Amino acid sequence: MHSTILKILLPTVLLGGLILSGCTQKDTAVGSGLAPGLNDLYPQEKIIYPEATAFYQVLSTTGTSPYLYLGKAQGYSSDALVRFSPDSSVLPDSFAVDSLKVRLFLDSVVTTGTEPLPVAVHFVNRAQEWTEIGATWNTLDSLELDGSFTTFEIAATLPEDSSYSFALPDSILEAWEWVGNGDKTLHFNNGLLLMAQGDGDHLVRLRSSEHAGISKRPQLEMYLTIFDSTDSLGATAVDTMLVLYATADAFLAQDSTELDTSYLYLGNGAAYRSLFRFDLEDAFDTFGTGLHRAELVLHADTTHPLKFDQITSAFYLTMEDTSWLVDPAAAPIAPNNFPVFAPYDAENGVLTLTMTAQVADWIAEPETNLGFLVRSSNENHNISRAVFYGTEADSSLRPYLRVVYLENEP
């Protein structure tokens, strides 16, 4: 029987549209709510719109998430890696394997399917080592699959705390245990790849090895015959059924959605980042501008069909140069950034990032104003896509920099 070799190589990023626009602004008096500055001048408010914006997609490391995603929804697709590492410390001295079973636990159904979701299970080949930190489709450049050794189904309708299991070959436990001991070098343990099958939308979220509920993490159930009844692990007698929890896992998300380039995006999993530059050089008089506050305000389109799940917070990073105007994804981020997290107001669909010190620096030294990047604060947590209005939207919805300041006269 001939096996099918599947070579998986995907592009690193999806580039979004770069939008250049004239930098416009409007001034209003803040009023008497704030104390006047020098010469009894009251603070002014200036709204400045960006002169350039862009977005791009990057496949994010997902090994630290408490979840594993399997399936498809709204252009997303996700598979998962799981590895177990049995060694002599968890196994008796003399035993025979009766059966092995991997069990996975449901966390939630993200998108309900009309049919059961079939999942194919593959052994990861010996050439493809992976770690949770950095595991994306792009890093699995030598993943060659000889076809699945088993499949299982996730039902279309699921009760809470559902679990799913599939059998492993009995011989694999000894091979994996040898790897853990270092006794045999011809064997390998690069884990299992779970690949969702089917064409329809059906996405589920399983609990990962980082989930707070330890008993519901991915587990290897080992059913053994013990030859020596005096075998024990320390003071604990060896049972004929042992449970070993996964030592590493990660979900591998991709997003093939065609995005509307008149919007901007932030997201997790297959993460989106947005970039901005505001022209401040002629926005303020050269003498004695005193800033009370400067903040970036982004309005989300919470009813947009491309919105998916939720981000929780974000932060900004300044750019090292302006090459992002040509190639957003390849442009370098400046060193020595100190991110300050800003919560996303999901109820009102508003993200507000305080940038007072940064804007003050840009006003004082215009040559350092090279633009900045905004990203979700937890790109590894889940699969989500937030849709924000771009520069073509109504002035009340497009991104803007709000600056409250004093222009002190000589």
In tens, the pLDDT along 132-156 reads 877 777 766 656 666 788 999 998 7
Lowest mean pLDDT among 168-177, 276-285, 369-378: 168-177
Average pLDDT, the chain: 83
Confidence of residue 9 (pLDDT cuts 50, 70, 90): very low
pLDDT at 322 over 70: yes
CA distance 239 to 218: 20
pLDDT at 123 over 60: yes
In Å, what is the CA distance from 175 to each residue of 144, 185, 186, 189, 314? 20, 10, 9, 8, 44
List the domain boundaries for the chain: 6-60+258-407, 67-207+210-245
343-369 mean pLDDT: 95
Q: For residue 365, with 0-12 CB atoms within 10 Å meaning exposed, 13-18 middle and 19 or more buried, which class applies?
A: exposed
Q: Taking a C-beta distance cutoff of 8 angstroms, is the pair 276, 374 a contact?
A: yes
5-34 mean pLDDT: 48
Residues whose CB is less than 8 angstroms from the CB of residue 345 and which lie 6 or more positions away in sequence, other chains included: 351, 352
What is the pTM for the complete model shown?
0.83
pLDDT at 341 over 80: yes
pLDDT at 389 over 70: yes
62-90 mean pLDDT: 88
**Nearest C-alpha neighbor of 106 from the set 158, 56, 59:** 158
| Secondary structure of residue 37 in the 3-state scheme | coil
pLDDT at 226 over 70: yes
pLDDT at 38 over 70: no
215-243 mean pLDDT: 75
SS (H, E, C) 185-239: CCCCCCCEEEEECCCCCEEEEEECCCCCCHHHCCEEEEEEEECCCCCEECCEECC
Retrieve residue 149's tokens.
């050794």
CA distance 49 to 261: 17
What pLDDT is attached to residue 10? 30
Retrieve residue 240's tokens.
């004929």
148, HSE (Cβ side, Cα atoms, 13 Å): 14
238-283 pLDDT, tens digit each: 568 889 999 999 999 999 999 999 999 999 998 999 999 999 988 8
**Nearest C-alpha neighbor of 8 from the set 153, 116, 130, 176:** 130
**Nearest C-alpha neighbor of 252 from the set 105, 72, 101:** 72
Give the largest Cα separation in the chain, rounded: 93
CA distance 94 to 300: 61
